[in-house]
Amino acid sequence: MDTVFFYIFTGLTLISALCVISFRNTLSSAVSLVVCFFGLAGLFALLQAHLLAALQILVYAGAIMVLFLFVIMLLNLGQKEISRVKMAFLPVVGILLGVYLIAILVLDFKNIPVSFPPLTIDDFGSIKTVGRTLFTQYLIPFEIISILLLIGVVGVVSVAKYDREEGTP
């Protein structure tokens, strides 16, 4: 049963990821990205990471994608397409590099024999286990992340309030 779900979620993730980088319309790319995040959330759930699966949908598919869609709507570039490629060699180099990277990684990874050991704790990946690790062992990084979020908020506001006429923040 798990195997069937694994292949369903894998197909969903990889095909929609391919759609993200190949669709010409930005809005279609954004919607494909949502599908990709849902597939990844399913894979997280198969790895017993239930809290992260929920967070993936809440934060990525909820918050980050709404931000993307807002910007797409605000920019309103639907009619004005990005001009067709003038530098023809860059995409070729990019695709070659990407395929080479994938080939190296796949050849390295495909012989790893590790299958998953049985779990020693019952509620592995639950909010209780992850929360206990987060607030004991990783308390200081957690606080630093909150400072990072604060810096992000201040930075976004200062960039957004930039006055174009006077040229001062």
55 is a site residue for other proteins (CB under 8 A): yes
**Closest approach of other proteins to the CB of residue 168, in Å:** 14
Contact string 92-121 vs other proteins (x = CB under 8 A): -xxx-xxx-xx--xx--xxxxxxxxx-xxx
Smallest gap from residue 53 Cβ to other proteins (A): 9
Cβ proximity of 168 and 161 under 8 Å: no
Shortest reach from residue 44's CB to other proteins, in Å? 6
Using rule CB under 8 A, residue 168 touches other proteins: no
Residue 129 binds other proteins, judged by CB under 8 A: yes
Q: What is the DSSP letter of 116?
A: P
- In the list 8, 73, 78, 141, the residue contacting other proteins (rule: CB under 8 A) is 141
Give the number of other CB atoms < 10 A from CB of residue 41: 23
Q: Is 73 in the site for other proteins (CB under 8 A)?
A: no
If one asks whether residue 8 binds other proteins (CB under 8 A), the answer comes out as: no
* Cα 82 to the center of its chain, rounded Å: 24
Classify each residue of 85-106 as buried b or exposed e, where b means 16 or more C-beta atoms within 10 Å of its C-beta.
eeeeeeeeeeeeeeeeeeeeee
Can you tell me the distance from the alpha carbon of 155 to that of 127, in angstroms, rounded to the nearest whole number? Answer: 31
